[in-house]
Amino acid sequence: MKLLITGGAGFIGSNFIRYWLNKYPDDKIVNLDVLTYAGNLENLRDVEGNKNYKFVKGDICDADLVDKLVKDIDLIVHFAAESHVDRSIQNSEDFIKTNVEGTRVLLDAAKNNGGIRFHHISTDEVFGALSLNSDPFNENTPYNPRSPYSASKAASDHLVRAYFHTHKLPITISNCTNNYGPFQFPEKLIPLFATNLMEGKKVPVYGEGGNIRDWIYVDDHNAGVDAVVKKGKIGETYCLGGENEITNLEITKNILNLMGKGEEMIEYVSDRKGHDFRYAMDITKAKKELGWEPKLKFEEGLKKTVGWYKNNEDWWRKIKTGEYMKYYKKQYNENNK
């Protein structure tokens, strides 16, 4: 099987490529990534020599390029997105371009080339925000996105379903909760806090730190996507999650603990605008229909992840100083001479 992975140089996409090539070593992967600030080829250094792996630098909004690339593809797994809520609050333009228009371009290429199997990676945030006592989201929860990021992801989910109903495109969608693990860009809570502490900086907790997220280890998410792709019903959506709700303040204390630091390193800062209070996912459908469930306990996963950031200072320091942008442009040009 030959797969087109979009956004494979980012956090989840790069972990997914590694996961897939390990599990299905005979499959071929083309990774299409434009290398925004979040795309980093160092995330894939260990697979770049694999004969079944090919990187293409390009934009998912480039219809001609995408149309050419999908010609001999059996499965598209679409990760590429602008993914950071805070950035979408500052400026939503790229979120609409990549998340909505980019998804439209990919869907048209899949449709115009014989109806290629298409899996769309989405998020729990499309469902809105929960209060403390409400039931977790499930596949039937009405959409109610509240940030420009989640609104753009919701729009893309609707488009994907529309291509199924209108054009019979063989699609599936997975909506997952907050991922954590190696190679996550240090703007997101867990890597930002771990790396700040290694730099001797404080950790900025928004508001009072009472907001709740459901965290899943990235390879548990990837196993879920694998299960949907192999066993999911065409046209269906599957909710994936870690069954692991925790407040931001509890996570912060866990990270401080793992780093041997005290609570004086917490800095309470202004709250995120429109900050969703709680996300949680009911994953009964994925468990029953796919036989999938998250495996790694959060305590263990967090320890492993913080340990990874401790052991990979070179990776995140180059990102935090901006050096990685120069380095990777140079490396890319050299590889493609």
Q: Site residues (CB under 6 A) for ligand NAD?
A: 6-7, 9-13, 32-36, 38-39, 59-61, 79-83, 98, 102, 121, 123, 153, 176, 178-179, 185
Rounded least distance, CB 182 to ligand TDX, Å: 15
Question: Known catalytic residues?
Answer: 124-125, 149
Rounded least distance, CB 212 to ligand TDX, Å: 8
Cβ closest to ligand NAD, residue 66 vs residue 116: 66
278 interacts with, out of ligand NAD, ligand TDX, none, CB within 5 to 8 A per kind = none
Cβ closest to ligand TDX, residue 14 vs residue 21: 14
Minimal CA–CA distance to 75: which of 6, 2, 25?
2
Decide: is 196 part of the binding site for ligand TDX (CB under 6 A). Answer: no
Phi and psi angles of residue 112, each rounded to the nearest 5 degrees, phi first = -80, -5
Q: Which residues pair with 287 in a beta bridge?
A: none
Cβ closest to ligand TDX, residue 75 vs residue 121: 121
Cβ closest to ligand TDX, residue 17 vs residue 126: 126
36 interacts with, out of ligand NAD, ligand TDX, none, CB within 5 to 8 A per kind = ligand NAD
Decide: is 320 part of the binding site for ligand TDX (CB under 6 A). Answer: no
Sites of contact with ligand TDX (CB under 6 A) = 83-85, 123, 125, 178, 188-189, 192, 204-206, 211, 213, 248, 272
